[in-house]
Amino acid sequence: MTKITDALTVGPFTLKNRLVLPPMATSKGQNGFVTDDLCEYYAARSQAGIGLIITEHHFVLPNGQATLNQVSVSRDEDIPGLRKLAQAIHQDGSKAVLQINHAGSAAMPELALAGKAIGPSAIANANPYFQPRYPKGVDMAIPNEMTHEDIKTVVEAFRQAARRAKEAGFDGVEIHSAHGYLFSQFYSPLMNHRTDEYTGKTIEGRTKIQVETIKAIRQEVGPDFFISLRLGAIDDREGGSQASEAGEAAKIFEAAGINMISISGGANAYLRQGHTEEGFFQDVSRIVKEAVSIPVLLTGNIRTKARAEALLNDGACDLVGVGRPLLGDPQYVKELLD
C-alpha cells in the first residue's frame, strides 16, 4: 500500500513524500520582484515538510502578466530575487519548481483594454472568473490573434524563463497550460478557432505550442532539469475540451520531454461544476495515468490523509496536491504526514 509519506523518484530527483503544494497566487510580489514576505510564505511550508513545492505562476513576458502583484521571470534582473525564493524553499528539504506562465487574453485588464493582450484567436476569454477583474459594465477584452512570429516570441520567452529558473537554483519549472491562460486557450476549442497548424480542431494543433515550448526548454536546460506541465484537461462546457482527450494529449507531452503532468481544469479554472468531493478531477487523472509512464499529480479539494492515500492506491495519481488548507495554515501538513 502506498502511503503519502513514501518517497518517489520524479525525473531527475527523489521526493521525500507524495505531498505537493500546488501553485496558488498569493499577490505577495512587488513591481514584479520577489519580496521577503513571499520567501517567508514558502519557507513556512517547506519547514512543515512538503516534498514538492510548485510556486505560483510567474510571467514570462510583460504582455503576459495576469495580476498587479504577480512576480516576473521575464528579465535577467529577476534572477537574484528568484534565487532567494529557491533557497527559502530548499532550506528544509522541499524540492522547488517555478511555475512559468503567459496570461494571453487573461492579461491584466489594463493591458487587455489597451489592446496589448494576445491569444490564439480574437475571442474573449471563456473563463468567467476573469470578468470581475474588469470595471463594472465592461466586457472582457478581445485579444489580438497571434501571428506565427508572436508564437515564436512566446516560446522563446518560456525558454529564457526556464534558463533563469535554473540559474536561480530551482530544481525545475512547470509550464502553465490550465485555468484559461494562454496555453490553456490554445488547448481549448472554445478559445482556439485557428485553422493553421495550431488549429483548435485537432489534438495535434491544440498541443503544438506546448510541444514546441517543452522542446525549447529541454534544449536549453538539458536532461537533468525537471519539467512539469499543468494541463487544464477539461473545460466543463459544451464544445470545450473533454476528459476523454486528456490521455492522448498527455502522451504527446510525455514524448516531447516532460517529467510530470499535473491535472486541473481549463475554462472553469481549478473548480469543477457540480463537484465538491475530494479529488474531483480524478476521472481525468485516471485516464492520463493509464496513458503515460510519468508521474501524475492530482489536485482538487483534497483535504484528508485518508482520501489522499485512497487516491494514490486506486490508480488516480502518483502525487497529491493539497492547496487551500495550506494557504492559510502551513502546519496542516503535519495532519497529513503524521
Compute the distance between CA of residue 56 and CA of residue 87 in angstroms, rounded to an integer.
Answer: 16
Query: 51 and 266 in contact (C-beta within 8 Å)?
Result: no
| Cβ-based neighbours of 276, under 8 Å, separated by 6 or more | 301
Asked about 198 being catalytic, the answer comes back as no
Strand boundaries in the chain, DSSP class E: 8-10, 13-15, 19-21, 52-54, 58-59, 95-101, 118-119, 144-145, 172-177, 226-232, 260-264, 296-298, 319-321
Task: Using the structure block, give the residue that is written with the C-alpha cell 485555468.
Answer: 179
Catalytic site residue from 181, 187, 198, 270: 181
Compute the distance between CA of residue 182 and CA of residue 185 in angstroms, rounded to an integer.
Answer: 5
Three cell numbers at 190?
A: 472554445
Q: Please state the φ and ψ torsions of residue 142, each to the nearest 5 degrees.
A: -85, 125
Compute the distance between CA of residue 4 and CA of residue 331 in angstroms, rounded to an integer.
Answer: 16
Three-state secondary-structure class, residue 295: coil
Strand boundaries in 86-143, DSSP class E: 95-101, 118-119
Compute the distance between CA of residue 273 and CA of residue 276 in angstroms, rounded to an integer.
Answer: 8
Catalytic site residues? 181
